[in-house]
């Protein structure tokens, strides 16, 4: 009962609190309504303010744009005025020409004038057309000065050089300051052509200057090549040809010119045209010198014109590959024709060599026989020439391949030769050996024929023995021992032995007087001789001494130049005569 009044009291208090809160919420709603009215009033006023300020803002923007346009117009006008004033400022400097020691200020002045002309042209002001024309004329005048400077600088580094310089490296020139300046100048001029509208073609001045440089540098070699080979003859040493040096220098100069032009002439088409024009005079002189030298070689004896093998080898191994790489710039056709002429002469020399051994070129085959039976000059010359051909085996082998087996016995036809740089090496080596063996076989036949010029059989034997022995020693020694095999050695060994045996017959008269004589009587050997028998023995001794003196007197005029062979000949004679003489004395 007591808890119910208590609960009713709490409800009354909560009702009172709710009423209070309700009253306060009402007041808050009233305040919120007032604030909303105030804010709505502000919003209306702001909209009115915006409407009032917007025209002013737009006007301000227009004024700003106009001000900016005015500033830009003033700057543009100022720039155009400066550009129009630039020719009068730079004219004297540009017309004077660049300073060779410092061309950069001149190039900068040209650049400023070029920029000024571009600026005025972009303005599209008709009133400035005359000024633009004047600027371009001034730029052309400046380009002419730069072109003149290019010619001068090109000439300054195009002085003729000597042989040592040509055979050396050109790195010093390519990395020199003058070369760098010339390259920069040519690059500037080339890149400015389209902008300035003035085309500078360096082709003609480049050809004029560089062709003179090449021709003057190589001309001394052209002259010396005509003289040196003519006087060297059989004393010629491999690699000593002046024309080889000429070829080497020409190839090096062509390669150097190609590198040089690539740094100077940026336009590939112009560069190719310039190179062809530059190299043509030097190439023509080379071909002319080569053909004159070949004509001289054809008139010389084949032993005096071995330099043609050297020239062909040099060209095929070194010059031809280099010129092939530069075939687009160098007209190697004429040079190939010139080299073909040298190859034809080499073929002719091989044919004349074999014909000379056959004796078909001798009017009298017995004319050059020595009285002492020594080695014939044909033998020495033949073996020496074979050695010389071996020096150029890389050239001789393809020539023999082009002739075919046995073709060296037929006169050359003069038909174009196939590419010798693509022959079969094994076939070439086989033909070289066959050719060398044929040469010695023909030489053996010719020696037999020449030996008939001697009236005494002993001289015939000594002559053949000396020549066969000399040949045997040569084919056993370098370099011919790498060509001839054991079959060739055995053949000449038999020939020498045969002549040694035949030579013993020259002592037969002495031997006959020393033949053992034993007297038998009544079936028993007589130990004593009668007067007639003693006289017979005395006559044999006398005849032996007479024959020996005659043979000795005659053979002291004979020659066996090889010491070992001479000792063998003496030993063989002693091995026969001395024992027989001793036995005869004992009897």
Residue 524 β-bridge partners: 521
Burial 468-497 (b: 16+ CB within 10 A, else e): bbbbbbbbeeeebeebbeeebeebbeebbe
pLDDT score of 521: 44
pLDDT score of 523: 43
Q: List Cβ neighbours of 265 (8 Å cut-off, separation of 6 or more).
A: 186, 202, 206, 271, 274
Q: Is the pLDDT of residue 360 over 90?
A: no
Q: Is the pLDDT of residue 520 over 60?
A: no
What confidence category does residue 213 fall into, taking pLDDT thresholds of 50, 70 and 90? Answer: very high
Q: How far apart are CA 170 and CA 262, in angstroms?
A: 14
479-496 mean pLDDT: 94
pTM over 0.95: no
The gap from C-alpha 535 to its chain's centroid, in whole angstroms, comes to 87
DSSP letter (8 states) at residue 127 = G
How high does pLDDT run on average in the chain? 82
What confidence category does residue 516 fall into, taking pLDDT thresholds of 50, 70 and 90? Answer: low
39-59 mean pLDDT: 80
Long-range CB pairs of 124-130 (<8 Å, 24+ gap) are 125/80, 128/80, 128/84
Burial 180-192 (b: 16+ CB within 10 A, else e): eebbebbebbbeb
Q: Is 169 helix (H, G, I), strand (E, B) or coil?
A: coil
pLDDT score of 420: 55
Q: How far apart are CA 341 and CA 321, in angstroms?
A: 19
What confidence category does residue 576 fall into, taking pLDDT thresholds of 50, 70 and 90? Answer: confident
- How many other C-beta atoms are found inside a 10 Å radius of the C-beta of residue 19? 10
For 424-453, the pLDDT digits (tens) are: 889 999 999 999 999 999 999 999 999 998
| Nearest C-alpha neighbor of 554 from the set 353, 431, 371, 401 | 371
pLDDT score of 98: 83
Name the token pair of 473.
């020693």
Give the lowest-confidence range in 176-180, 436-440, 527-531. Answer: 527-531
Q: What is the dihedral of CA 495, 500, 506, 511, to 10 degrees?
A: -140
Q: Which of 219-223, 342-346, 533-537 has the highest mean pLDDT?
A: 342-346
467-493 mean pLDDT: 95
Q: Is the pLDDT of residue 279 over 60?
A: yes
Q: Is the pLDDT of residue 5 over 70?
A: no
Q: Is 563 helix (H, G, I), strand (E, B) or coil?
A: helix
69-91 mean pLDDT: 71
DSSP letter (8 states) at residue 317 = I
The gap from C-alpha 232 to its chain's centroid, in whole angstroms, comes to 25
pLDDT score of 400: 93
| H runs (alpha helix) in 508-562 | 508-513, 531-555
367-375 mean pLDDT: 85
164-193 mean pLDDT: 72
Q: Which of 3-17, 251-265, 288-302 has the highest mean pLDDT?
A: 288-302
User: Which of residues 83 and 22 earns the better pLDDT score?
Assistant: 22
pLDDT score of 141: 81
User: Which of residues 289 and 534 earns the better pLDDT score?
Assistant: 289
Q: Is the pLDDT of residue 198 over 50?
A: yes
Name the token pair of 31.
């305040």
- How many other C-beta atoms are found inside a 10 Å radius of the C-beta of residue 459? 22
Integer distance in angstroms from the first to the last C-alpha of the chain?
Answer: 198
pLDDT score of 230: 59
395-398-404 Cα angle (round to 5) = 140
Q: Is the pLDDT of residue 522 over 60?
A: no
pLDDT score of 70: 75
User: Which of residues 377 and 545 earns the better pLDDT score?
Assistant: 377
Q: Is the pLDDT of residue 252 over 80?
A: yes
Helix-strand-coil split of the chain, %, nearest 5? 80, 0, 20
| H runs (alpha helix) in 97-128 | 104-123
């Amino acid at each position: 009962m007591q808890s119910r009044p208590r609960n009713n009291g709490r409800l009354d208090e909560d009702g009172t609190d709710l009423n209070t809160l309700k009253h306060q919420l009402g007041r808050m709603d009233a305040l919120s309504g007032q604030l909303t009215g105030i804010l709505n009033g502000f919003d209306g006023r702001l909209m009115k303010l915006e409407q009032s300020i917007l025209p002013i803002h737009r006007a301000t923007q227009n004024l700003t744009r106009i001000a900016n346009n005015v500033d830009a117009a003033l700057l543009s006008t100022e720039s155009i005025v400066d550009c129009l004033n630039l020719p009068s400022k730079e004219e004297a400097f540009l017309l004077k020409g660049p300073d060779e020691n410092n061309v950069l200020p001149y190039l900068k002045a040209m650049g400023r004038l070029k920029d000024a002309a571009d600026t005025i042209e972009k303005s599209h002001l008709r009133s400035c057309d005359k000024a633009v024309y004047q600027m371009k004329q001034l730029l052309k005048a400046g380009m002419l000065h730069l072109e003149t400077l290019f010619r001068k600088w090109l000439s300054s580094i195009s002085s003729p050089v000597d042989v040592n310089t040509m055979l050396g490296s050109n790195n010093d020139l390519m990395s020199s300051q003058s070369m760098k300046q010339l390259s920069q100048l040519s690059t500037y001029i080339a890149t400015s052509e389209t902008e300035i509208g003035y085309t500078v073609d360096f082709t003609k001045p480049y050809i004029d200057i560089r062709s003179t440089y090449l021709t003057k540098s190589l001309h001394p070699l052209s002259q010396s090549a005509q003289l040196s080979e003519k006087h060297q003859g059989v004393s010629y040493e491999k690699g000593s040809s002046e024309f080889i040096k000429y070829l080497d220098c020409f190839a090096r100069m062509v390669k150097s010119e190609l590198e040089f032009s690539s740094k100077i002439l940026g336009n590939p088409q112009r560069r190719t045209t310039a190179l062809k024009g530059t190299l043509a005079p030097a190439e023509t002189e080379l071909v002319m010198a080569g053909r004159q030298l070949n004509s001289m070689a054809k008139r010389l004896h084949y032993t005096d014109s071995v330099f043609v093998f050297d020239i062909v080898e040099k060209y095929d191994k070194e010059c031809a590959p280099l010129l092939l790489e530069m075939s687009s710039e160098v007209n190697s056709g004429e040079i190939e024709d010139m080299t073909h002429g040298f190859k034809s002469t080499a073929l002719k020399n091989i044919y004349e060599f074999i014909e000379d051994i056959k004796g078909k070129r001798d009017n009298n085959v017995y004319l050059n026989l020595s009285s002492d039976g020594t080695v014939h000059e044909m033998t020495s010359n033949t073996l020496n020439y074979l050695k010389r051909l071996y020096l150029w085996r890389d050239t001789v082998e393809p020539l023999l391949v082009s002739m075919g087996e046995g073709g060296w016995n037929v006169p050359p036809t003069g038909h174009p030769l196939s590419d010798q740089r693509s022959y079969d090496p094994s076939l070439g080596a086989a033909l070289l050996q066959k050719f060398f063996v044929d040469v010695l076989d023909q030489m053996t036949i010719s020696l037999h024929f020449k030996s008939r010029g001697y009236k005494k059989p002993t001289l015939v034997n000594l002559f053949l023995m000396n020549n066969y022995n000399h040949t045997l020693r040569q084919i056993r020694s370098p370099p011919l021992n790498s060509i001839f095999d054991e079959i060739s050695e055995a053949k000449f060994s038999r020939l020498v032995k045969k002549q040694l045996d035949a030579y013993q017959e020259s002592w037969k008269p002495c031997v006959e007087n020393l033949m053992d004589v034993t007297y038998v009587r009544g079936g028993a050997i007589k130990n004593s001789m009668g007067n007639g028998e003693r006289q017979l023995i005395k006559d044999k001794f006398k005849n032996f001494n007479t024959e020996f003196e005659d043979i000795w007197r005659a053979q002291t005029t004979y020659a066996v130049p090889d010491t070992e062979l001479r000792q063998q000949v003496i030993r063989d004679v002693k091995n026969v005569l001395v024992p027989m003489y001793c036995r005869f004395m004992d009897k």
